Amino acid sequence: MDCIFCKIVSGEIPSVKVYEDDRVLAFMDINPLNHGHLLIIPKAHAATIDEITEADFLAVMSATHKLAAAVKKALSPDGMNLLQLNGKAANQLVPHLHVHIVPRWSGDGLTVSQWEIVAGDMEKIKGVAEKIQSEMGNSK
Ligand code: 5GP
Ligand code: ZN
């Protein structure tokens, strides 16, 4: 398959690896947003959250948890953004699921996650919550 991250998994494209297990690979982002920016991916190709198996997603999340602790110890950031984009509309560039860990320092100037806070319409919020809740088959 013509997928950059599958080629990183197979070794066809080199990468700076930081962690690997049966299901997961983590490597440094080649265009880092900040010092220590890394990516965690499933080894099995899945473009987005709709495609990945629950087992692979849990493995990616578990590795993310461990890597976040390692980044904290290694770099002592003041904070960290975890980012995971799905689909072109969400600005996903590489269609192989990945979680970004972006270490953050106070005053680092990055604009990741600085959205405007605008109060929502409660009727709309409740309506959409009902729709999602009914798909979950859970009325609590
Ligand atoms: P996204 O799809 O979430 O928008 O971001 C894709 C990320 O993959 C970007 O941060 C980009 O820098 C990174 N990336 C793209 N190609 C490569 C590559 O060949 N090697 C590495 N290490 N990172 C890459
Ligand atoms: Zn792939």
Per-residue pLDDT tens over the stretch 44-82: 999 999 999 999 999 999 999 999 999 999 999 999 999
User: Pocket residues for ligand 1 (CB within 6 Å)?
Assistant: 4, 13, 15, 27-31, 39, 85, 91-94
Q: Which are the contacts of 41, defined by CB distance < 8 A and separation ≥ 6?
A: 5, 8, 9, 24, 25, 26, 27, 60, 96, 97, 98, 99
Angle, CA 134 vertex, CA 61 and CA 92 arms, to 5°: 40
Q: What is the pLDDT of residues 97-112, one digit of tens each?
A: 999 999 999 999 999 8
Please tell me what DSSP assigns to residue 69: H
| Domains along the chain with CATH numbers | 4-111 (3.30.428.10)
Instruction: Give the predicted TM-score (pTM) of the model.
Output: 0.95
Q: Which residues are catalytic?
A: 98
Contact 103, 35 (CB under 8 A): yes
76 Cα: distance to centroid of ligand 1 (angstroms): 24
| Ligand 1 atom having least distance to the Cα of 83 | 3
The pLDDT value given to residue 140 = 58
What per-residue confidence (pLDDT) applies to 53?
98
Tokens at 126, concatenated: 């409740």
Residue 139 reports pLDDT greater than 60: no
